[in-house]
């Protein structure tokens, strides 16, 4: 898959915690160059960045320790293509409910509010089918894996909802959204064999080159 200068796309995966290897494998299968991002200089010359799942407070603290918080904020604020998964979604949210005492380091950049541990403990992890036909040509539902997942509790007018779950008591729970070139998902596409969300992110990267 080629970038704006005819070279292969180069996608970074923030490699502080979480399912980094799984993301790398899926991206490589789509023909892109993958860079594991651990230091600020690793952000240079990337076409897009994935912030994977993990534990959001720990990821924020590690990023602070390695001098990555401000470079990551600059990356997002400059409008570069970014995808946050689960903990990554929490880190990209402007407002976070149910934070640990004392708060947590975050990146921000997406005008959403999230509940950081809506679905509870690891034992409450689950899989379910999502309808993604509204924005994907294929009408085949997507099998989503949720692990101690957050949800989006509030969005601004500029945020497009991509996927929701139905909850009998609370109605629709927002689990995927996009604002300009930032995308977030509460579930873990890297834990399935379905490449559609990774391909959707790469489509966003190509959009950034066309503007």
Contact 21, 34 (CB under 8 A): no
CA atoms within 13 A on the CB side of 137: 1
Q: Where are the alpha helices (DSSP H) in the chain?
A: 20-29, 56-65, 69-77, 87-92, 196-210
Q: Is 22 a catalytic residue?
A: no
Here the tokens at position 31 are 């023909």
CATH code of the region 10-210: 3.40.50.880
Of 23, 24, 42, 190, the catalytic one is: 190
Of 23, 24, 42, 188, the catalytic one is: 188
pLDDT values of the chain reduced to their tens digit, one per residue, 211 residues: 555 555 789 999 999 988 899 999 999 999 999 999 999 999 999 999 999 998 888 898 999 999 999 999 999 999 999 999 999 999 999 999 877 655 678 999 999 999 988 876 655 688 999 988 777 766 689 999 999 889 999 999 999 999 999 876 667 899 999 999 999 999 999 999 899 999 999 999 999 988 6
Q: Is 24 a catalytic residue?
A: no
pTM: 0.92
Of 41, 86, 94, 198, the catalytic one is: 86
């Amino acid at each position: 898959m080629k970038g704006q200068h005819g070279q292969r796309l180069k996608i970074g995966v923030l490699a502080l915690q979480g399912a980094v290897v799984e993301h790398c494998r899926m991206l490589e299968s789509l023909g892109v160059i993958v860079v594991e991002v651990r230091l600020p200089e690793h952000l240079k010359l990337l076409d897009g960045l994935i912030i994977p799942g993990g534990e959001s407070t720990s990821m924020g603290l590690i990023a602070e320790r390695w001098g990555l918080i401000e470079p990551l904020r600059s990356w997002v604020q400059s409008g570069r293509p970014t995808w946050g998964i689960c903990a990554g979604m929490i880190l990209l949210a402007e407002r976070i409910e149910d934070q640990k005492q004392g708060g947590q380091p975050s990146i921000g950049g997406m005008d959403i509010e999230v509940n950081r541990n809506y679905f509870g403990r690891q034992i409450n992890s689950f899989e379910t089918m999502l309808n993604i036909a509204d924005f994907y040509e294929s009408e085949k539902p997507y099998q989503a894996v949720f692990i101690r997942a957050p949800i989006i509790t509030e969005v601004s007018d500029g945020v497009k909802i991509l996927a929701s779950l139905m909850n009998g008591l609370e109605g629709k729970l927002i689990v995927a959204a996009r604002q300009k070139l930032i995308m977030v998902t509460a579930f873990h596409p890297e834990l399935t064999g379905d490449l559609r969300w990774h391909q959707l992110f790469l489509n966003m990267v190509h959009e950034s080159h066309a503007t």
